[in-house]
Amino acid sequence: MIETHLPAIIALTFVLFALLIPLFGLWKEQLCQPLAVLGSGLATTFSLLAFITYLQTGSIRYFFGGWEPPIGIEFVYDGLSGFILIVINSVAFLALIYAKKPGRMEFQGKELAYYALAMLMMLGFNGMVLTGDLFNLYVFLEISSLSSYALISIGNKPAPFAAFRYLIVGTAGGTLYLLGVGFLYTNTGTLNIIDMSAMLPMLVDNSSVVTALILMVVGIGVKAAIFPLHGWLPDSYTYASTPSSTLIAPIGTKVAAYILFRIMLYLFGIDLTDAVFPLSYIVGVFACIGIIYGSVMAIAQTEMKRMLAYSSVSQIGYIIMGLSLANPFGFAGALLHVLNHAVMKACLFMITGNLRYKEGHSNISLFNDSYRIKYPWTMASFSVAAISMVGLPPLAGFFSKWYLVLGTIDNSNWIFLAVIIVSSLLNAVYFFRILEKVYMKNPDAEQQPDTAVEIKYDDVSPSMMSPMAILAVGLFVIGFANAAIVGFLLGIFPM
């Protein structure tokens, strides 16, 4: 009986805990973080249950209020939304476990607000992934965006200004998306994605439908940080506090990329998207420029969080490029890269948080090889994540790039292929220089006498280390199990 209600239960869990956290937090402050971990853990369990039910019985369509579409709003749980749900809920669970000690250090006294906002933001993301109605998607988009503006502003001194700039750009993008939905409603008379995708092939040469598509892609592209619209990302991820970055960075842009998948491949279909002018090719070109731009700017940074932010701009370019290829291998490569990048970026931001917690800074030019002795497990996880980002087998990053390369060869897009290979080399530059600083002794440094400060093992506590270690081991697991994952993804390609 519970299986039919699972799509709603996943979202309602977050609502329930977003209400319980202020209630119990006003009574006792220490209860906030365990309640948040419990909430996201329950949601992850329900997502896994729903995925197993999906594999046995097929898609679940849930009609709110008992009203069937096109009158009512529905939640659609199919293969694509189920996959993305598992990714975002499990990464959020690990990020909330991690947030206990850095949260106490960085925003003492505001923990109730932080965890309640984190629950609301996850409600917004889950709702965006599950919904099958275009206006409902706008509502959940704004819920998650407002919570993330507030989460980013809990940080050090420049954080509210970075959050304000993100607010202006993000709200403008959401409003453009709403205008596009208005154009589509005027032409078709319905707001349901499944119903509209049956009506759109008859309207292909209507100029307002083409305008609606462009408005929606630009509006969601702001949240997904595609190349010319990425300006809010570096400041926001750098100045936010460590737990906020670990929660928002792996998840936020991926959900926006999922919406682009829905709009361009499911709602319009690739034939309609390219009917009037080659929109998917233009989006692919911008994605390639973003890949190269992100990698080059990341090499120029000295602060590790800012470097990871520019690296995020580059990696989201891979996903959008896979979308623009629109063939099965590109689709599978892009979605596998969603999974890989969420795990890798969460692990990397946790490592940065560990270094900030212990050393007080994360400035790359001040790293030295005493880190190898003081933080062995942190640096080992960093090596695993860095090798996976560059794309070396048998780790997970190699396989997503491999399938993207196969997709570009299928389309004979040799420029995209060259971009992937060149950017992997650029990734190697900015990750391996940190490994060199940490693991290899600098031959130019003066021979220090046996110093008074003894360098010994000083790694972080289990609550901070275990999520990071689980994510690093997870990269190996995804790498070995990638055949099963890619087989599933090739099966849900929409045509």
Residue with tokens 């960093």: 382
Q: Which of 175, 197, 411, 466 binds another protein (CB under 8 A)?
A: 175
- Intra-chain end-to-end CA distance of the chain, in Å: 32
Two tokens at 193? 């994605």
| Residue closer to another protein (CB basis): 149 or 398 | 149
| Residue closer to another protein (CB basis): 15 or 86 | 15
Q: What is the footprint of another protein within residues 62-101 (CB under 8 A)? A: 62-66
| Residue closer to another protein (CB basis): 67 or 480 | 67
Q: Which of 45, 49, 53, 142 binds another protein (CB under 8 A)?
A: 142
Q: Give the Å distances, CA to CA, from 345 to 103, 246, 274.
A: 19, 8, 33
Contact indicator for 420, 404 with CB cutoff of 8 Å = yes
**Interface stretch with another protein, choices 93-101, 149-157, 226-234, 459-467 (CB under 8 A):** 149-157
Is residue 61 near another protein by the rule CB under 8 A?
no
Q: What is the footprint of another protein within residues 183-242 (CB under 8 A)? A: 185-186
Is residue 28 near another protein by the rule CB under 8 A?
no
Q: What is the DSSP letter of 133?
A: B
Rounded Cα distance, 358 and 41, in Å: 28
**74: helix, coil or strand?**
strand
Contact indicator for 252, 164 with CB cutoff of 8 Å = no
| Residue closer to another protein (CB basis): 65 or 443 | 65
Give the shortest CB-179-to-another protein separation in angstroms: 5
Contact indicator for 239, 211 with CB cutoff of 8 Å = no
| Residue closer to another protein (CB basis): 186 or 302 | 186
Rounded Cα distance, 328 and 218, in Å: 24
Give the shortest CB-108-to-another protein separation in angstroms: 17
Backbone angles phi, psi at 449, to 5 degrees: -65, 165
Q: Which of 52, 55, 105, 172 binds another protein (CB under 8 A)?
A: 172
Rounded Cα distance, 312 and 477, in Å: 22
Residue type, position 317, single letter: G
Is residue 488 near another protein by the rule CB under 8 A?
no
Give kind and range of the element (H or E) at residue 180: helix 159-188
Give the shortest CB-88-to-another protein separation in angstroms: 21
Give the shortest CB-152-to-another protein separation in angstroms: 10
Is residue 5 near another protein by the rule CB under 8 A?
yes
- Helix-strand-coil split of the chain, %, nearest 5: 80, 5, 20
Q: Which of 55, 105, 168, 421 binds another protein (CB under 8 A)?
A: 168
**Interface stretch with another protein, choices 180-188, 279-287, 302-310, 315-323 (CB under 8 A):** 180-188
Rounded Cα distance, 431 and 428, in Å: 5
Is residue 377 near another protein by the rule CB under 8 A?
no
Q: What is the DSSP letter of 226?
A: -
**Interface stretch with another protein, choices 155-163, 368-376, 429-437, 453-461 (CB under 8 A):** 155-163
| Residue closer to another protein (CB basis): 26 or 418 | 26
Give kind and range of the element (H or E) at residue 61: strand 60-63
Q: Which of 179, 199, 406, 417 binds another protein (CB under 8 A)?
A: 179
Q: Give the Å distances, CA to CA, from 162 to 119, 171, 175, 213, 293.
A: 22, 14, 20, 29, 21
Is residue 178 near another protein by the rule CB under 8 A?
yes
| Residue closer to another protein (CB basis): 149 or 367 | 149
Rounded Cα distance, 312 and 237, in Å: 10
Give the burial class of 466: count Cβ atoms within 10 A of its Cβ; 0-12 exposed, 13-18 middle, 19 or more buried.
middle
Q: Which positions from 116 to 135 touch another protein by CB under 8 A, shown as an x/- string?
A: -------------------x
Give the shortest CB-26-to-another protein separation in angstroms: 7
| Residue closer to another protein (CB basis): 168 or 429 | 168
Q: Which residues bind another protein (CB under 8 A)?
A: 5, 8, 12, 15-16, 19, 22-23, 26, 62-66, 135, 138-139, 142, 146, 149-150, 153, 157-158, 160-161, 163-164, 167-168, 171-172, 175, 178-179, 182, 185-186
